[in-house]
Structure 1
Amino acid sequence: MSTWTPLESNPEVLSKYIHKLGVSPSWSVTDVIGLEEETLAWIPRPVKAFILLFPISETYEKHRAEEHERVKLADEQHPGDLFYMRQFTHNACGTVALIHSLANNKDVAIESGVLKNFLEKTASLSPEERGQALEQDKDFTADHQALAQEGQTNAADHEHVIHHFISLVNKEGTLYELDGRKSFPIKHGPTSDETFVKDAANVCKEFMARDPSEVRFTVLALTAAQD
């Protein structure tokens, strides 16, 4: 298993990254500075995905294990074109979350380049095969590594990274949590274009409520670029 330099939760750097990958400049990554209704109103619209960064704690791991058993027994069905992939590369969670956010929003234009090539190449593969394909993709590795060096903190200091990125998207009226460390996509109930921001914020609040003494949560959104 290879190890990448971790991405920082810096909207400017992440926006530059998705543009380098071929995403139209009309989309960008922005900070979500609060999860209350009046604060959520400030996020540029439309909002296509939430990206949550949080510490991997004992609470998260316990919940993940319990959730795995529940979802496995439920044998849930998902849309055929839901793009889900596992994460097998250390510190690649930021890239995986961005891929999940972009691949599941068909109206986000992606021009020829590293991301489009990857999505076309892995369209018919399993989540596990997609994760392995990312690990072996030299172009993706190079782009990730280059952008990871542009954060405000020294990436070399992060020998043991305990933070993890996941994506929340609206897929055909269902709010999905897409986490490369989990074996399955996680359904969080119905949503819509009108309610997605509030619904995604509520899922973020659930993560925070499970770790009430933890303050190291960061929320970002994939949105229309601000003028």
Structure 2
Amino acid sequence: MSNGWCTIESDPAVFTEMLEKFGVEGVAVEEVISLDPSSLEQLGTLHGLVLLFKYKGSKREVNYQPESGLYFAQQIVQNACATQALINIVMNRKDDGVTLGTTLQEFFDFTSGLDPATRGEQIGQSDKIREVHNSFTRSTVFSFEDVAAKDDDDVYHFVSFIFKHGAIWELDGLQPAPILCTNATDDDWRDKMITSVQSRIAEISAQDTTGQGQGISFSLLGVVADRIPALELELALLQSEEKPTTLVEAQLEQLRQEREQGRIENSRRRHNYVPMVVALLRALAEKGKLEGIIEEVKQKKAAQAQAGGKK
């Protein structure tokens, strides 16, 4: 955790519940497996994409557009990029089927007239936003808040891509303004977004110092219209018309189960397992089994190291 903000895992269940805690309605986050038109089409209404990648910090030649008319907040607080990636998307979609909820609507009203850097500062000073963000921290017995990152440490960063005002935009909180990727229309913006993201991935991959494509990793999430309310509405309509509902009921049940499983996984992420592990180790020690287990593990490690050295 840095400056009171923890790192966030790139997981659709984490991002979906984060939006729910902010009070955002009608939105969910799903993993994007493949960057092709059919995959994006299956997502339904797409509000934006969130790209996670290993950050190298190199300079870029890009088309900054300070007067884009977009809502854009710079990242002033370290580790806040995941939350800012989501905020930068939903703030620009509040008139397109996204209900911000009280927290983000009030934040939008307060910061809409500010410059990107000041908006970023206000995110850092928002107790509610920080509270929601940090509710997804993984529990640990130690705090490394004051430990400085090494030059060779892996640092990951989130950026957003949206379609608005006839263009595809990259919203990177580490940059001073929105980046114009390419112009687009209502007919071709999905294809243009795919091309823009692919271009960004290729640009990042070119920074790979291993020369074998192993130095960079990516994750892509789609911020989409929540399908559960739509299916609930469709189910109610079918029932009122006394039409078959089996298929819709099955789809709805599957989504509800997936959503609940995501909440369970999030709860597990937050749970502190350290006391349980300590109690287990203490019990093994009291029974005289701990030293034997440790010695067995050491022998296995030594055997693996020896086998690896013979290759």
Q: Per the shorter chain, which TM-score range?
A: 0.7 to 0.9
- TM-superposed CA distance for 1:103, in Å, is 0.4
Residue correspondence of structure 1 range 88-103 to structure 2 within 5 A: 88-103=76-91
State the identity as a percent: 27
- TM-superposed CA distance for 1:121, in Å, is 1.2
Q: Give the equivalent residue in structure 2 for 1:49.
A: 48
Gaps of 5+ in 1: none
Residue of structure 2 aligned with 1:110, choices 84, 100, 106? 100
Q: Distance in 2 between matches of 1:129 and 1:142?
A: 20
Residue correspondence of structure 1 range 24-43 to structure 2 within 5 A: 24=25, 26-42=26-42
Structure in which a larger fraction of residues adopt strand: 1
Q: Give the equivalent residue in structure 2 for 1:120.
A: 109
Contact in 2 for aligned 1:5/1:155 (Cα 8 Å):
no
Residue correspondence of structure 1 range 1-227 to structure 2 within 5 A: 2-24=3-25, 26-42=26-42, 44-57=43-56, 61-63=58-60, 66-67=61-62, 71=64, 76=65, 78-80=67-69, 82-105=70-93, 106-107=95-96, 108-112=98-102, 114-149=103-138, 160=149, 162-210=155-203, 211-212=205-206, 213=213, 214-227=215-228
- 3-state DSSP class of the match of 2:136? helix
Bigger radius of gyration: 2
Q: Under a length normalisation based on structure 2, what TM-score does the superposition of the two structures give?
A: 0.62
Deviations 1:77-126 (A, max 9, x none): 6343x1011101111000110011000012211222x2222111111111
- TM-superposed CA distance for 1:209, in Å, is 1.3
CA RMSD of aligned residues (A): 2.6
Structure 1 moving runs of 4+ over 6 Å: 153-159
Greater displacement, 190-199 / 204-213: 190-199
Structure in which a larger fraction of residues adopt helix: 2
Contact in 1 for aligned 2:168/2:196 (Cα 8 Å):
no
- 3-state DSSP class of the match of 1:170? strand
Contact in 2 for aligned 1:87/1:180 (Cα 8 Å):
yes
Greater displacement, 32-41 / 165-174: 32-41
Greater displacement, 33-42 / 182-191: 33-42
Between 1 and 2, higher relative CO (CA 8 Å, sep ≥ 6) is seen in 1
Gaps of 5+ in 2: 207-212, 229-311
Q: Under a length normalisation based on structure 1, what TM-score does the superposition of the two structures give?
A: 0.83
Contact in 2 for aligned 1:176/1:187 (Cα 8 Å):
yes
Q: Distance in 1 between matches of 2:79 and 2:52?
A: 12
CA 1:137/1:146 → structure 2, altered by over 3 Å: closer, same or farther? Answer: same
Contact in 2 for aligned 1:22/1:116 (Cα 8 Å):
no
Contact in 2 for aligned 1:169/1:177 (Cα 8 Å):
yes
Size of the aligned set, in residue pairs, is 211
Contact in 2 for aligned 1:2/1:135 (Cα 8 Å):
no
Q: Distance in 2 between matches of 1:157 and 1:194?
A: 49
- TM-superposed CA distance for 1:128, in Å, is 0.9
Deviations 1:166-193 (A, max 9, x none): 1111111111111110012100111234
